[in-house]
């Protein structure tokens, strides 16, 4: 299969990242179908996609006509057989559990055409963890996106069994939807940027779970020195606390690291309360106007308001 043969893209998982990826593909002329467990989940996702598209219009990334055409290319179904019909490429964004990812791919292996390429948007796992379970390991490659609202960096990471032509095809596809491709030569948990980011998250969580400093002061330290618009806890709110917890807990249990487990338990307290970050309007900060966006957050006056 060549890049010009890719017409239809299936998004497995209609969460925030799945929504962004699907919209990005549709913006660049691909037909997109979303699959998730219920029509209720899908309807909510489609509303959010339309809202995101409207924001793109307001920021000049799309015209009203472009948006109309883009949304017309997007459909959604909770029926796996219908979702898999005539699909050329899958982008998977289900929770960070290798067993779950393997089961989801195995199901669609039976339903999709033989030509269909499987890609995973996993943040911290590597595709070899579930490649054999997919049923077509040679057609599986990690194709990872960051926040598409803010950047256009995408990682393409094959596993040892990925066919070279599949890696090239996915790289070409990434370019076709406006991405700057970071091509990894070998598997690496966290790719390039996330490897660096996870170290920041781990350090920040260790400071907070050990009560060395408050969440706000940890963020103030980073923001004040690095001159960034948010600190590690603000970033975790944007990523999603449940996602950070899943990854942290998985690796804590796999390595037996006591501090990593303490960090995971710290995150679990927020998850149990339903405080998942930006998407629930409550995480380490309250949204839509988190404290770190206030003009005096880095000043003593901002600290006294706390």
Q: What is the pLDDT along the chain (306 residues), one digit of tens a residue?
A: 999 999 999 999 999 999 999 999 999 999 999 999 999 999 999 999 999 999 999 999 999 999 999 999 999 999 999 999 999 999 999 988 999 999 999 999 999 999 999 999 998 899 999 999 999 999 999 999 999 998 999 999 999 999 999 999 999 999 999 999 999 999 998 899 988 999 999 999 999 999 999 999 999 999 999 999 999 999 999 989 998 998 899 889 989 999 999 999 999 999 999 999 999 999 999 999 999 999 999 986 566 655
What angle, rounded to 10 degrees, do the helices at 258-272 and 241-255 form? 150
Decide: helix, strand or coil at residue 282: strand
Q: Residue 35: CA atoms inside 13 Å, Cβ hemisphere, count?
A: 21
Secondary structure element (H or E) that encloses residue 87, with its range: none
CB 36 within 8 A of CB 78: yes
CB 53 within 8 A of CB 22: no
Q: What is the pLDDT of residues 111-147, one digit of tens each?
A: 999 999 999 999 889 999 999 999 999 999 999 999 9
Q: What is the pLDDT of residues 52-63, one digit of tens each?
A: 999 999 999 999
Secondary structure element (H or E) that encloses residue 96, with its range: none
């Amino acid at each position: 299969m060549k890049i010009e043969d890719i017409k239809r893209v299936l998004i497995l998982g209609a969460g925030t990242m799945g929504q962004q990826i699907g919209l990005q593909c549709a913006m660049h002329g691909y037909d997109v179908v979303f699959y998730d467990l219920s029509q209720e989940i899908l309807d909510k996702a489609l509303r959010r996609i339309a809202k995101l598209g409207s924001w793109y219009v307001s920021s000049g990334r799309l015209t009203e006509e472009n948006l109309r055409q883009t949304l017309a290319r997007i459909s959604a179904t909770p029926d796996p057989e219908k979702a898999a019909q005539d699909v050329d490429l899958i982008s998977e964004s289900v929770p960070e559990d290798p067993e779950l990812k393997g089961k989801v791919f195995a199901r669609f292996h039976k339903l999709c055409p033989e030509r269909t390429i499987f890609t995973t948007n996993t943040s911290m796992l590597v595709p070899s963890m579930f490649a054999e379970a997919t049923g077509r390991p040679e057609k599986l490659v990690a194709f990872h996106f960051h926040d598409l609202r803010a950047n256009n960096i995408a990682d393409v990471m094959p596993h040892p069994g990925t066919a070279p032509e599949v890696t090239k095809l996915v790289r070409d596809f990434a370019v076709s939807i406006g991405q700057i491709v970071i091509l990894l030569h070998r598997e690496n948990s966290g790719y390039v940027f996330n490897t660096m980011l996870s170290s920041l998250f781990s350090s920040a969580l260790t400071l907070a779970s050990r009560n060395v400093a408050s969440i706000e002061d940890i963020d103030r330290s980073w923001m004040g020195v690095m001159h960034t618009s948010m600190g590690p806890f603000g970033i975790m709110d944007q990523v999603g606390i449940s996602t950070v917890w899943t990854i942290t807990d998985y690796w804590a249990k796999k390595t037996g690291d006591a501090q990593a487990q303490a960090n995971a338990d710290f995150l679990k307290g927020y998850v149990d309360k339903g405080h998942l970050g930006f998407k629930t309007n409550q995480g380490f900060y309250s949204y839509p106007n988190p404290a770190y966006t206030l003009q005096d957050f880095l000043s003593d006056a901002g600290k006294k308001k706390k």
